[in-house]
Amino acid sequence: MSASSEANPVETLRWDGRRLELIDQRALPARLEYVSCANAAEVAEAIRSMVVRGAPAIGCAAAFGVALEARRQEDCPRAEFDIAMETAFRNLAASRPTAVNLFWALDRMRAALGAGTRDDPRSAAGRLADAALALFNADLETNRAIGRAGAALVPGGARVLTHCNTGSLATAGHGTALGVIRTARDQGKRISVIASETRPYLQGARLTAWEMIREKIPVTLITDNTAGHLMRLGKIDLVLVGADRIAANGDVANKIGTYTLAVLAERHRIPFYVAAPLSSIDTSAADGSAIPIEERSASEVTGYAGMRWAPEGVSVANPAFDITPAELVSGLFTEKGAVTRPDARKIRALFPG
Ligand code: MRU
């Protein structure tokens, strides 16, 4: 039996209508354990504290957070229900700033709530639960479509460098960039992955390496600063990453270090591909300069897991994302297919009407 992604799925989010369970990604790869959330505030905290991360997974979690809050408040009078829902939306929107999927999902949930402004809270709660589940299921289907679009451009035998984690852990399942790799593998292509460790939070070392080993996809872990050396030696055939937000002109915000890889790929004439759903495209941001970049705690850089290696008093910069200009992107894989050399016109064409 092939080691298909369907055979042993990673259930990043589990939903039973009353609780949301999230794999605690802070504990991986040492322990596979779940955090349980019963309301929007708990989901917001789970997003803020990185229990759940990765743009599409954050969006799905936020949608379930809205649905949970609605269930909790469903016996209140409508006016009280509306106030509680407003607080939930505000809290969730403040959890992390860069991944636009969070705001996209909250907009969807707001539309579901607004679809019946006069109905009783119990009906509204039912509608919001349905909307959150639909959004989750759609993300899974979207990732499979992205996988098919991208796999067509991944040759058999490819050695693929990826950054951060874009797999089942970062989505409703299958993944975006890792979804392309999974699909290519499921098509019978022999693919090997080079995972950059992704300082400082180590999503590559802890999460991508874990997912790939679990699925028996050959993976080699490198430090972030090894990429250029391997490219110069001809040991990388393409770079494939995800995105947290893509601007209207095709500029890509993704995990810090992505821009460096794109520049290196250009220097070595290696294709640099981005795999992301349309929900990661923010047409209201004209270019990358309009995308807010999260600045995270200095403690992520001065040490790890309770160990400190930098001297007291040092000043630290810790932007969690960077911007890769569209001109460095060889191709964008979405659920609508592959777009080569994305630019403003081609991005616009993805949103007809
Ligand atoms: O800080 P994180 O771990 O949430 O950052 C995640 C990334 O940068 C991913 O590459 C991106 O969200 C795409 S996930 C399919």
Residues 13-22 have pLDDT tens digits of 999 999 999 9
- List residues with catalytic annotation: 244
Query: Nearest C-alpha to atom 15 of ligand 1 is from which residue?
Result: 166
Specify the DSSP class assigned to residue 194.
E
Beta pairing class for 281-282 and 245-247: parallel
Contact 285, 344 (CB under 8 A): no
Ligand 1 atom closest to Cα of 171? 15
12 Cα to the center of ligand 1, angstroms: 14
Mean pLDDT of 290-299: 98
Closest ligand 1 atom to the C-alpha of 321? 8
Burial class (CB in 10 A: 0-12, 13-18, 19+), 66: buried
Confidence of residue 353 (pLDDT cuts 50, 70, 90): confident
pLDDT digits (tens, 9 = 90+) for 43-66: 999 999 999 999 999 999 999 999
pTM over 0.75, yes/no: yes
DSSP code for 295: B
Q: Report the DSSP pairing between strands 20-23 and 34-37.
A: antiparallel
* Residues in Cβ contact with 31 at an 8 Å cutoff, skipping those fewer than 6 apart: 24
Best mutation site among 98, 140, 164, 210 for ligand 1 pocket (most ligand atoms within 8 Å of CB): 164
Task: Please report the domains of the chain, with CATH numbers, ordered by start residue.
Answer: 13-144 (1.20.120.420), 148-349 (3.40.50.10470)
Give the whole-number percent of the chain exceeding pLDDT 90.
Answer: 95
Ligand 1 centre from 83 Cα, in Å? 32
Inter-residue contact 262 to 163 (CB < 8 Å) = no
Between the CA of 114 and the centroid of ligand 1 the distance, in Å, is: 30
Pocket-forming residues, ligand 1, beta carbon under 6 Å: 53-56, 99, 164, 166, 170-171, 176, 203, 242-244, 254-255, 320
Q: How far is the CA of 171 from the centre of ligand 1 (A)?
A: 9
The strand ranges marked E within 178-286 are 192-196, 219-222, 238-241, 245-247, 252-255, 272-275, 281-282
* Encoded amino acid at 302, one letter: T
The tens digit of pLDDT for each residue in 136-195 reads: 999 999 999 999 999 999 999 999 999 999 999 999 999 999 999 999 999 999 999 999
Position 116 pLDDT exceeds 80: no
| Residues 9, 168 contacting (CB under 8 angstroms) | yes
* The ligand 1 atom nearest the CA atom of 177: 15
Angle at 316 between CA 314 and CA 320, to 5 degrees: 160
- Rounded to the nearest angstrom, the distance between the alpha carbon of 294 and the centre of ligand 1 is 12
pLDDT at 6 over 90: no
Q: What is the residue with the minimal CA distance to atom 10 of ligand 1?
A: 242
